[in-house]
């Protein structure tokens, strides 16, 4: 059995952990898939490259409001796709070569625990003083009658299709459905989204969720409060039985995209054999320093947290690296301020509590909402639907939550994230900071002054 100082399971954010401080140690990294994990190969990065192309098509079609008469004559899907993956795909081999050149043993077969701190990788067994579990997550495939008889895609495969379908049926109403709904409808695909709840993006602030649903309904067919009860093949496509407020009916489409959530890959790891404690969702249980129930074993990323966000995993990786190298001075990480963005149209960004969460907790808070239309740049955009919504504690004047729907939302929210992270009152960030005129940040400034 090979003995290591450090073994990292997972080459996504786990690969980022292996800094030069570990040079000279006996190290190994194990991943049966591509280096870069979900983010690089099947998630954040390629999907946003598709979103940029979709934004360009949508901007051309909607430029008439500015007096610019433009149209989209054709979307060359293969060129869009190949621009993305011709850039991404070579990175796997170069990453493997780089690690091996640094003296790291790279295993490309799946790892399974056979005992605490003992792993079976292919036909080999390895052990280490320190192990980091960063095995990521994968799409959930729901138990729908007939799903095993039809061709369907998940976020893992949809970006690599050869041709655009004429129509697409999307199961789910979360981040992935919102982003791919935007991409494919912008490229001319007739998109139908089936969502169990009354709105899309149900986890967002209700006011944001409602506005987004209204806007999405202008571009896609939304079947809300509905559920797919069965699917079956129909030619080269699919027919789904959809039960909703008006009863059950059939919906046909050329392509089916299933995006109803993700699950941690810990079940493939035989975590119990390794002595790891899991929660009811299959995530590895850790403390705030990311120590597991087994001394010397750490965990991070989608295998641990419910956020499924790359920037959270990156922050965790930095904390775990420090803690492995400095066991007498461990750091912790609070996820109380964990922002996210949805790169759909319009863009959405959020940090902290929603209004409904604040009410449920019985917090005494105030709300301020400012439309983009109240700013000079909002006028320039002819924007009539975007807004900034802020919640603050009446007791200590701190921000509780920030919610933005509209162009550049993911960028506009950053000073609010910093304020929440650094404990700044709304007075300081509203009155003691200058905001450039006539930038969109004036919408943020006006919302703060409104508090």
- Residue 38 CA to residue 53 CA, distance in Å, equals 21
Q: 390 Cβ partners below 8 Å, 6+ apart?
A: 367, 368, 369, 399, 401, 402, 403, 416, 426, 447, 448, 450, 451
Establish whether 153 is a catalytic residue. no
Q: Which of 255, 259, 261 is nearest to 77 (CA)?
A: 255
Angle at 85 between CA 96 and CA 55, to 5 degrees: 135
> What count of other Cβ atoms lies within 10 Å of the Cβ of residue 408?
19
Task: Judge whether 401 and 205 are in contact, CB under 8 Å.
Answer: yes
Q: Is 258 helix (H, G, I), strand (E, B) or coil?
A: strand
Q: How far is CA 192 from CA 212, 254, 370, in A?
A: 15, 11, 32
Q: 79 Cβ partners below 8 Å, 6+ apart?
A: none
Task: Judge whether 143 and 229 are in contact, CB under 8 Å.
Answer: no
Asked whether the bond before 150 is cis by omega within 30 degrees of 0, the reply is: no
Q: 438 Cβ partners below 8 Å, 6+ apart?
A: 375, 376, 377, 380
- Residue 323 CA to residue 132 CA, distance in Å, equals 12
- Per-residue three-class SS string for 260-320: CCEEEHHHHHCHHHHCCCECCCCCECCCCCCECCCCCEEECHHHCCCCCCHHHHHHHHHHH
The active-site residue, picked from 249, 326, 360, 437, is 437
Q: What is the dihedral of CA 95, 98, 100, 102, to 10 degrees?
A: -140
Residue 124 β-bridge partners: 121
User: H-type helices in 354-413, by residue range?
Assistant: 355-360, 376-381, 409-412
Antiparallel, parallel or unpaired: β 111-115 and 118-121: antiparallel
Q: How far is CA 443 from CA 90, 398, 403, 409, 437, in A?
A: 42, 19, 12, 11, 10
Q: Which of 360, 383, 358, 381 is nearest to 370 (CA)?
A: 383
- Residue 252 CA to residue 439 CA, distance in Å, equals 45
Active-site amino acid positions: 437
């Amino acid at each position: 059995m090979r003995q290591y100082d450090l073994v990292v399971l997972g080459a996504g954010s786990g690969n980022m952990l292996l800094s030069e401080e570990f040079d000279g140690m006996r190290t190994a990294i194990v991943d049966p898939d591509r280096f870069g994990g979900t983010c690089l190969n099947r998630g954040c990065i390629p999907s946003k490259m598709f979103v940029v192309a979709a934004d360009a098509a949508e901007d051309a079609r909607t430029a008439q409001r500015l007096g610019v008469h433009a149209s989209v004559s054709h979307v060359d899907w293969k060129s869009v796709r190949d621009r993305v993956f011709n850039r991404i795909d070579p990175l796997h081999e170069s990453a493997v070569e780089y690690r091996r050149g640094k003296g790291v043993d790279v295993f490309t077969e799946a790892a399974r625990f056979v005992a605490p701190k003992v792993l079976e990788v292919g036909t080999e067994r390895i052990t280490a003083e320190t192990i980091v579990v960063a095995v990521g997550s994968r799409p959930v495939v729901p138990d729908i009658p007939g799903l095993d008889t039809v061709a369907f895609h998940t976020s893992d495969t949809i970006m690599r299709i050869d041709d655009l379908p004429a129509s697409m049926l999307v199961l789910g109403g979360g981040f992935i459905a919102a982003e791919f709904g935007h991409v494919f409808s912008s490229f001319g695909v007739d998109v139908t989204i089936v969502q169990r709840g009354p709105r899309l993006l149900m986890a967002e602030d209700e006011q944001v969720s409602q506005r987004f649903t209204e806007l999405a309904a202008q571009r896609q067919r939304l079947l809300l409060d509905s559920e797919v009860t069965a699917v079956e093949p129909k030619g080269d496509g699919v027919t789904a039985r959809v039960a909703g407020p008006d009863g059950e009916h059939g919906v046909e489409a050329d392509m089916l995209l299933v995006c109803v959530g993700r699950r941690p890959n810990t079940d493939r790891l035989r975590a119990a054999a390794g002595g790891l404690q899991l929660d009811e969702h299959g995530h590895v249980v850790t403390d705030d320093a990311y120590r597991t129930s087994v001394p010397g074993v750490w965990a991070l990323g989608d295998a641990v947290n419910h956020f499924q966000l790359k920037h959270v995993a990156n922050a965790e990786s930095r904390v775990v690296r420090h803690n492995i190298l400095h066991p007498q001075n461990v750091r912790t990480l609070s996820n109380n301020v964990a922002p996210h963005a949805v790169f759909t149209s319009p863009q959405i960004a959020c940090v902290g509590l929603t209004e409904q969460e604040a009410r449920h907790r019985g917090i005494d808070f105030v709300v301020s909402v400012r439309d983009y239309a109240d700013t000079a740049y909002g006028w320039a955009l002819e924007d009539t639907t975007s807004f900034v919504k802020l919640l603050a504690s009446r007791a200590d004047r701190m921000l509780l939550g920030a919610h933005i729907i509209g162009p550049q939302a993911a960028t506009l929210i950053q000073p609010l994230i910093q304020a929440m992270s650094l404990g700044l009152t709304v007075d300081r960030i509203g009155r003691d900071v200058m905001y450039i005129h006539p930038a969109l940040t004036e919408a943020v400034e006006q919302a703060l002054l409104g508090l």
